[in-house]
Structure 1
Amino acid sequence: MANIPGRGATHNQASSRFNLAAREADGDWLDAAQAIDGPAQKLRTSVSLITPRTIISRNASPDIAFSQSINAYAGCEHGCIYCFARPTHAYHDLSPGLDFETRLFAKPDAATLLRKELSHRNYSVSPIAMGTNTDPYQPIEKDWEVTRQLLEVMVECRHPVFITTKSDRILRDIDLLADLARDNLVAVMISVTSLDPKVARTLEPRAPHPERRIAAINRLAEAGVPVSANMSPIIPAINDHEIEQVVARLAMAGAQDVNYILVRLPHEVAPLFRAWLETHYPDRAAKVMAMIRDIRGGRDNDPDFGSRMRGQGVWADLTRTRFIKARRKANLGQARISVRTDLFRPPEGAQMRLF
């Protein structure tokens, strides 16, 4: 597979689950295009619009700490090769590979839909998570500002929100976040997978430099915004040697806690990840996959609740022990971050509030 500059996936992995057919060689000019023209040219990002009927998604997963979430975008330009959300692009008859990071979808009506759903008489307040599927602060947020518009509704309604991102672009909205933080209505988690820029550049080609994310943690903490961090995913023989160093740096930056998730390779992510390994780490590709299968019960992926986040076996136990010791040494995890739900007020409609 080819290394495509600025992109994570090495190719477009087809998805037979949703009738996305793989292209087979048939002797036409496309079969010889790369041999004649050389490596593929730089791929440009395109953005299409989605107009859903609702914007809040709900789940009942026992190993997820939230029941409501919003995704402002579908697809993610950060291009993280390990992203467990890649298979969702198959719902659009697009590839979880390069299409996922180059053919994106924005939801410009998201804030309007949120106001409508929060206005329902039977709406039950619980924190809304953002960044659970694709990053709310990926590069296209600079122009579309869908995430900021959603946060403005949260501020107006005093609604609690969790935000997960691997981008320092979140600092643009520090005014809204600080407003929510004053009433204990927000918690932010920033992902830092590696401190090595070379590793980060291949794992997460269009995500901000790790040092910029660490600086964002510091800025948020100084502004009084509760912020934790996530070393996710931990990948054996790729970034697991950095556990102690990453945890210490994040604690020094002001993170109130640091957590982790072992690499997950659901559906089409597994073959994409194997192709990435062969391209960037051919010297250890077989070793990495053998270790992953060891922590996933002999499979590329374990979809079961509970074990899917932490894995099983000797290597998973060792990782867990190392992480616990690193957190303890950094004096982290002393207090659980939580948000309030008692300040919610429905959005104002055509008729203003009396009080």
Structure 2
Amino acid sequence: MVAPANLPGHPPSSARGRGAKSNRTGRFESQVSEAFDDGWGEEEEPAQIATVLQPMKSRTIIARNDSPDVGFESSINPYRGCSHGCIYCYARPAHTYLGHSAGLDFETKIYFKPEAGKLLERELSRPKYVPKVIHIGGDTDPYQPDEKTLRVTRAVLETLARFRHPFSIITKSNLITRDLDILGPMGQAGLARAAVSITSLDHRLSRSMEPRAATPKRRLDAVRQLAAAGVPTTVMFAPSIPSLNDHEMEAVLEAAAAAGASTAGYVAVRLPLEIKDLFEEWLAAEHPDRARRVMSLVRQMRGGAAYSTEWGKRMTGEGPVAEVMSQRFRLARTRFGLDRKLAPLDLSQFAVPAKAGDQLSLF
């Protein structure tokens, strides 16, 4: 099915305050919808598309994976979809499993898990549960704007604190500082660490790539507050995009060190499945002067393709361009003292809290 641009139900090719430039049909949908200009309409101002929040029922809340690349086995994602709208987000293709587009749908149709705290309590209370560090936000950001009122992530953190369960959390939002009353004591006890993603210090570039995420200045302030509260904090320069933001790598790490970060990491840009076309469409619209060069360098890092799924290379790429990026990161991390090794989070403190009515031990 082909639909003309801006028809009801078909998002426009440009939306104010959003990252994606279109709503390309997801790969699991039975009909294909494509916008086109029939020549009859006048040029319009970009439309504003509202965010639609939908509760999501889940039977469990802890997800498990065996990927050797991600660094954790257990994770919790309080949300699906993310209104931060980061154009490069590797979680976009997952929205197609819900019958949505990885484009504007991913940014505007947000699912949340209202029972996350209760589900987590139930799972942690099982007699056969074996604690492993839980990573929060490995898919979509746990502190996207609507968390301010929904407080789903807050409920998860409260539960983990009651059980003395170790966790890590990653975000690009300064809303994380709201929960310093939990993160601070847990961090000081060896039960929590945080990571803040900072991709640029350039406000204009950041706004273009990540339209509804916190500004670079506010993210650095979050790092400063987390570190001051005793939370070991990593700054992630992720993704590093050649000829777009990679030249800022050293400056970001220097600013992170000054803010009190303990360590740093980076990830080379990844463009799997639908993200490739969405990213190229965004490049052509936002950075036409360098679009061809960026994609040429990306392909040089991925064996000639836009993306490679090979373990051990997904996060860093390969070839001369990737090697230079990796070497620059290692040198900068050492120069700014961000190469220290963090102590493992303490699994031994985990304990199921007593409930009202539980029989007291005689010994």
Scaled to the shorter chain, the TM-score interval is over 0.9
The match for 1:131 among 126, 137, 159 is: 137
Equivalent in 203, 207, 210 of residue 216 of structure 2: 210
Query: Following the alignment from structure 1 to structure 2, what is the Cα–Cα distance between the partners of residues 62 and 257?
Result: 20
Among 7, 10, 20, which residue is 1:9 paired with? 20
Aligned to 1:21, which of 19, 22, 31? 31
Asked if 1:47 is matched to 2:57, the reply is: no
Q: State the partner residue of 2:276.
A: 270
- 1:174 paired residue number: 180
Q: How many residues align?
A: 350
- CA contact 1:45–1:103 (8 Å) conserved in 2: yes
Alignment gaps of 5+ in structure 1: none
Q: The residue matched to 1:219 in structure 2 has which SS?
A: helix
Percent identity over the alignment is: 43
Does structure 2 conserve the Cα–Cα contact (< 8 Å) formed by 1:2 and 1:39? Answer: no
Instruction: Say if 1:34 and 1:76 are closer, same or farther in 2 by CA, change over 3 A.
Output: farther
- SS in structure 2 at match of 1:35: coil
| Residues 20 and 94, structure 1, Cα contact 8 Å, conserved in 2 | no
Structure-1 separation of matches of 2:175 and 2:137: 13
The range that moved more, 33-42 or 55-64, is: 33-42
CA distance in 2, matches of 1:86, 1:253: 31
Corresponding letter in the other structure for 1:153 = T
Aligned residue for 2:349, secondary structure, equals: coil
Q: 1:238 corresponds to which letter in structure 2?
A: L
Once residues 290 and 111 of structure 1 are traced to their aligned partners in structure 2, the CA distance between those partners, rounded to angstroms, is 45
- Aligned partners of 1:34 and 1:224: how far apart in 2? 60
Amino acid at match of 1:158: R
Larger helix proportion of the pair: 1
Of structures 1 and 2, the one scoring higher in RCO (CA 8 A, sep 6+) is 1
- Is contact 2:24-2:34 (8 Å) kept? no
SS in 1 for 2:41: helix
1:91 aligned residue: 97
Query: Partners of 1:186 and 1:330 in 2: how far apart?
Result: 23
Instruction: Quickly say closer, same or farther: Cα 1:20–1:146, change in 2 above 3 A.
Output: farther
- C-alpha displacement of 1:183: 1.5
Gaps of 5+ in 2: 1-11
Does the CA contact (< 8 Å) of 1:161 and 1:186 recur in 2? yes
Asked if residue 239 in structure 1 is aligned to residue 245 in structure 2, the reply is: yes
Shift of 1:38: 1.6
TM-score (norm 2): 0.93
Distance in 1, Cα, partners of 2:288 & 2:31? 28
TM-score (normalizing by structure 1):
0.95
Cα distance change on mapping 1:343 and 1:20 into 2, 3 Å = farther
Name whichever of 248-257 and 337-346 sits farther off. 337-346
Q: For residues 37 and 165 of structure 2, what CA distance do their matches in structure 1 show?
A: 53
In the TM superposition, residue 244 of structure 1 has moved relative to its aligned partner by 1.1
Residue by residue, what CA displacement relative to the aligned partner does 1:34-76 show, whole Å, maximum 9, x if unpaired? 9347244211111001011111000001122110000001100
Given that 1:15 and 1:21 are in contact with CA atoms closer than 8 Å, whether structure 2 keeps it comes out as no
Matched with 2:107 is 101
Amino acid at match of 1:13: R
SS at match of 1:90: helix
Q: Which amino acid in the other structure matches residue 26 of structure 2? A: S
* CA–CA separation in structure 1 for the residues paired with 2:261 and 2:318: 28
Superposed CA deviations along residues 192-241 of structure 1, whole A, max 9, x for unmatched, are: 00000011001100000001000110111111111111000000110011
How far has the Cα of 1:335 moved from its partner? 2.2
